[in-house]
């Protein structure tokens, strides 16, 4: 069976070289990420256009994900370059200090409300948690701290508050501009960084729709507040990302593994595709091979049921972007050969509110117990294929649709293989006959195999109301 777990790769300078992007797609990339925290609108436009041209040439659905910067809180810069902070010594953050006036005693911070958000005893973490400060007192705009864990600190490094609680809003001026760019580029997914609650996602959706965009929203879970309100945040989004960098800093390394598993499980329970991200193969920025720990990290996310795994710096700026994708594809396929962890049976045991949900669950049950060879979903919106993919059905799900945006959405969904298909007639046996012929032409099914076909009356999204058992 083809690889079920999808791969998201971030584009950047390393993917701009001749033939590199084509090689990435050939190695197995399903979704490309445009990181709006870096680059300029011109480079994002050029990369999106190249991806779409190559995907059309290769006749593959490749989705584009735009990733907003969000309210990433950073320190300002140092007058003389990076400084060394020594454990036990004093160090201060001052929201009123000029942006380029930092030294080894104090540095500015690009968040004027920080002094109001912290109190003595609070723990501040800099540079993804590499440096830890403990707040001793707050006087006006100045926060006096003691260095608990020292190290070298450079310009514009990120800042987090242990346990969360910073009042920074979900979207800034740059995000509003990038949302307009995302609408212009017609991205398929828009990732919202650092949402605290469903309200932040609703604000992003409103801005996107006002700009004419139709992308599906991805909630990046990276704040303690989002974890505390997990069901509401996931419910307000169309997909979820386990953004482990800032999340691990806020909640602590020891809590991160269990929280990752909980986010994946909750997202699947709520029928949302989920991406696992951050440092999955970080060593491959400089090395042509992953570490054993990275292999296990990717494999465990696959076994937990993630829809996709993501490469960041590994593909955007690394020395081995194509090798990183190939290694990730190989690890995913290897993990999928093992028995997956038991999933929740909630979808099977609860009342079905919609006809398409009942058909999807009946198809999963039948495919499992009659050892079908494939499922064919004739779909407009992709909902039936998404619902079936939540249940780890042990056969491939081929989603046949005439809508390019549906094919690109399903490119993110685990175990679903989107196919461009429009029947010559919508009545009678024609759609099923032509669908089977299309899959035979692709080599996806062969004579004698048993296939389950789901379809509706072609009345629009959500219309799936029938399952049929077919022998090829």
Q: Which residue numbers are catalytic?
A: 33, 74, 220, 278
Return all residues near 48 (Cβ < 8 A) that are at least 6 apart. 34, 64, 185, 187
Alpha-carbon separation of residue 431 from 36, 399, 400, 419 (angstroms): 42, 13, 10, 14
- Of 301, 217, 393, nearest in space to 385 by CA: 393
CA 63 – CA 52 distance, rounded (Å):
9
Contact 47, 16 (CB under 8 A): yes
Q: How much is the CA Rg of the chain, to the nearest whole Å?
A: 24
Alpha-carbon separation of residue 266 from 54, 65, 213, 241 (angstroms): 35, 22, 27, 12
CA 107 – CA 155 distance, rounded (Å):
9
The number of beta carbons lying within 10 Å of the beta carbon of residue 187 is: 27
392: left (phi > 0), else alpha (psi -120 to 50), else beta?
left
In terms of Cβ atoms closer than 10 Å to its own Cβ (0-12, 13-18, 19+), residue 123 is middle
The token duo for 116 is 């109001």
CA 280 – CA 284 distance, rounded (Å):
9
The token duo for 265 is 């499980």
SS3 303: helix
Return all residues near 276 (Cβ < 8 A) that are at least 6 apart. 241, 242, 244, 260, 264, 301, 304, 306, 308, 309, 310
Return all residues near 330 (Cβ < 8 A) that are at least 6 apart. none
- Of 182, 278, 166, nearest in space to 226 by CA: 166
What does DSSP say about strands 123-126 and 106-108: parallel, antiparallel, or unpaired? unpaired
CA 360 – CA 276 distance, rounded (Å):
25
Tokens 């009356």 belong to which residue?
A: 457
The token duo for 355 is 């006809």
- Of 105, 114, 55, nearest in space to 80 by CA: 105
CA 171 – CA 203 distance, rounded (Å):
8
């Amino acid at each position: 069976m083809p690889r079920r777990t999808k791969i998201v790769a971030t584009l950047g300078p390393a993917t701009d070289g001749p033939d590199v992007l084509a090689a990435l797609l050939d190695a197995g990339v399903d979704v490309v990420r445009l990181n709006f925290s870096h680059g300029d609108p011109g480079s994002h436009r050029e990369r999106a256009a190249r991806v779409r041209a190559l995907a059309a040439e290769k006749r593959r659905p490749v989705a584009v994900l735009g990733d907003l910067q969000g309210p990433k809180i950073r320190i300002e810069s140092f007058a003389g370059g990076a400084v060394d902070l020594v454990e036990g010594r004093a160090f201060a953050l001052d929201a009123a200090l000029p942006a380029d006036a930092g030294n080894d005693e104090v540095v500015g911070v690009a968040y004027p409300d920080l002094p109001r958000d912290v109190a003595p005893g609070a723990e501040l973490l800099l540079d993804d948690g590499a440096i830890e400060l403990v707040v001793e007192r707050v006087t006006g705009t100045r926060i006096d701290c003691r260095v608990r864990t020292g190290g070298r600190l450079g310009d514009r490094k990120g800042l987090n508050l242990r346990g969360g609680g910073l009042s920074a809003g979900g979207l800034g001026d740059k995000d509003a501009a990038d949302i307009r760019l995302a609408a212009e580029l017609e991205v398929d997914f828009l990732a919202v960084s650092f949402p605290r609650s469903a309200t932040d996602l609703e604000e992003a959706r409103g801005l996107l729709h006002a700009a004419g965009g139709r992308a599906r929203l991805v909630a990046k879970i990276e704040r303690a507040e989002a974890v505390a309100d997990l069901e509401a945040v996931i419910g307000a989004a169309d997909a979820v990302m386990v953004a482990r960098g800032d999340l691990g800093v806020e909640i602590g390394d020891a809590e991160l593994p269990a929280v990752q598993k909980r986010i994946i499980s909750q997202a699947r329970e709520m029928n949302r595709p989920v991406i696992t991200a951050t440092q999955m193969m970080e060593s491959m920025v400089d090395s042509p091979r992953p570490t054993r720990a990275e292999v296990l990290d990717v494999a465990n996310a696959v076994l937990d049921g993630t829809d996709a795994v993501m490469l960041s710096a590994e593909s955007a700026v690394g020395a081995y972007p194509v090798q990183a994708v190939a290694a990730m594809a190989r690890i995913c396929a290897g993990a999928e050969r093992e028995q997956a962890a038991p999933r929740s049976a909630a979808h099977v045991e609860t009342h079905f509110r919609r006809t398409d949900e009942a058909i999807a669950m009946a198809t999963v049950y039948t495919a499992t117990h009659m050892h079908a060879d494939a499922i064919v979903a004739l779909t407009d919106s992709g909902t039936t294929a998404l619902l079936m993919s939540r249940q780890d059905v042990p056969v491939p799900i081929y989603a046949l649709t005439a809508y390019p945006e549906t094919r690109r959405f399903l490119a993110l969904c685990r175990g679903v293989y989107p196919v461009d298909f429009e029947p010559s007639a919508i009545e009678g046996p024609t759609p099923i006959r032509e669908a089977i012929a299309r899959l035979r032409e692709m080599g996806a099914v062969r004579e004698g195999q048993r296939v389950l076909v789901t379809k509706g009356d072609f009345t629009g999204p959500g219309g799936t109301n029938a399952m049929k058992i077919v022998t090829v």
